[in-house]
């Protein structure tokens, strides 16, 4: 996932997914934006790949799950590649056998 800020009042959130199995033929439904659709090695995208897409491919290959693109902020972002890190931990409500002291 990439949080992108194209202007001070225009934010985007882009989601990228890994596809391990595909059937059918990809279709270019936006020919006014894209010259072609074809398969490329994930670590060797074409040189004219849109910058946030190239960033996403590089980060996916490195295990980074979230990044920012063109974010204007006064605070630095602390980020490190995820190395076999599980996602957020879900806390369940205490059941009868695990009531919190209170």
Q: What is the pLDDT of residues 2-48, one digit of tens each?
A: 777 777 777 778 888 888 888 888 899 999 988 888 888 888 888 88
Both tokens assigned to 73: 């902020």
Residues, the chain = 102
Three-state DSSP at 55 gives helix
List the domain boundaries for the chain.
1-16+41-75
Q: What is the pLDDT of residues 36-79, one digit of tens each?
A: 888 888 888 888 888 888 888 888 888 877 777 666 655 555 55
Q: Does pTM surpass 0.75? A: no
């Amino acid at each position: 996932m990439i949080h992108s800020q194209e202007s001070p009042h225009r934010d985007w959130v882009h989601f990228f997914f890994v596809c391990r199995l595909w059937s059918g033929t990809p279709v270019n439904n936006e020919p006014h934006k894209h010259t072609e659709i074809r398969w490329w090695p994930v670590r060797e995208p074409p040189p004219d790949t849109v910058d946030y897409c190239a960033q996403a491919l590089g980060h996916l290959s490195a295990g980074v799950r979230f990044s920012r693109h063109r974010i204007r902020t006064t605070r630095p972002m602390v980020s490190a590649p995820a190395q076999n890190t599980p996602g957020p931990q879900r806390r369940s409500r205490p059941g009868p056998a695990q009531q919190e002291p209170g």
